Homo-oligomer: A and B are copies of this chain.
Amino acid sequence: MLYVKNTESIRCMDPFLPAKRYFQEISATSIHYLSLDCVVFGFHHNELKVLLLRWKDTEEWSLPGGFIGKRESVDAAAIRVLQERTGLEHLFLQQFHVFGAAERYDQDDTWARTKLGWDPESWSERTISLGYYALVDYTKVTPMPDLLSDECRWWAVDQLPRLLFDHNHIIEVALKTLRRQLSWQPVGYNLLPDKFTLPELQRLYETILGRPLDPRNFHKKMMGLNILERLEERRRGGAYKSPYLYRFRPEAYEQALEEGAMAFG
């Protein structure tokens, strides 16, 4: 993290000192009232997952997030935050909503702030949050906790714990957005590894859409779009018949998205 250089020396004294110190630093260097919350989607074992952080010395989970430097572009801030959490160089990032209700943090806020050592003196009373979602290749991510958290790990979207603040709601909105954008955003391209099988791609679509698709129709449709290249290689090692591996053809993929051709009725 950019703003606090020496964590160890701080940590020994007051369990809340890192947080207090952190927010003081942020106040000085970042934009007030505004924060980023990032919903990082990954796909693994046929499940859609999101990255969550566990706050230091608690069992409380929340979305990875951060703040925007006073002279930093908003997108750059989101990229910076996610690079720190995931270790990825490039990532697909999309702003999807501004959460700006005045009462946004009022409800469980006193509770949360006390719990997390949030000092009202050093922080503003309300926060407007810019919601970003990211699509990442699960296999390439190294989840890393930040200064305020002990743990960073994946959770299946349909088995989330109760999160701090309105973060459950933020994830819901991100999911809805993802569903709607499936036909014109490079969802498959960013969520899957370079090589993948057709059933994996189908599972991905099914998971996001929340309903089963017919494998024959799926095959026909995907192949008809000419965006997939079938490799000689097959995925070995799993039990049963080994499926072919495929790879996206980036140019054709882009074009199909332009035309909105990847819609599923």
* A interface, CB within 8 angstroms of B: 31-34, 68, 70-76, 95, 97-98, 100-103, 125-126, 128, 130, 180, 184
Contacts and interface: CB of A to CB of B under 8 A. Distances in A.
A101 B74 contact: yes
B126 A101 contact: no
A102 B72 contact: yes
B101 A73 contact: yes
Contacts of A76: 102
A63 B95 CA distance: 22
Given A71-B102, A73-B100, A75-B101, 4 more contacts: A32-B32, A68-B100, A71-B125, A74-B98
A27 to B, nearest CB: 12
| Top-6 shortest CB links A-B | A74-B100, A73-B102, A73-B101, A31-B33, A71-B102, A95-B98
A221 to B, nearest CB: 16
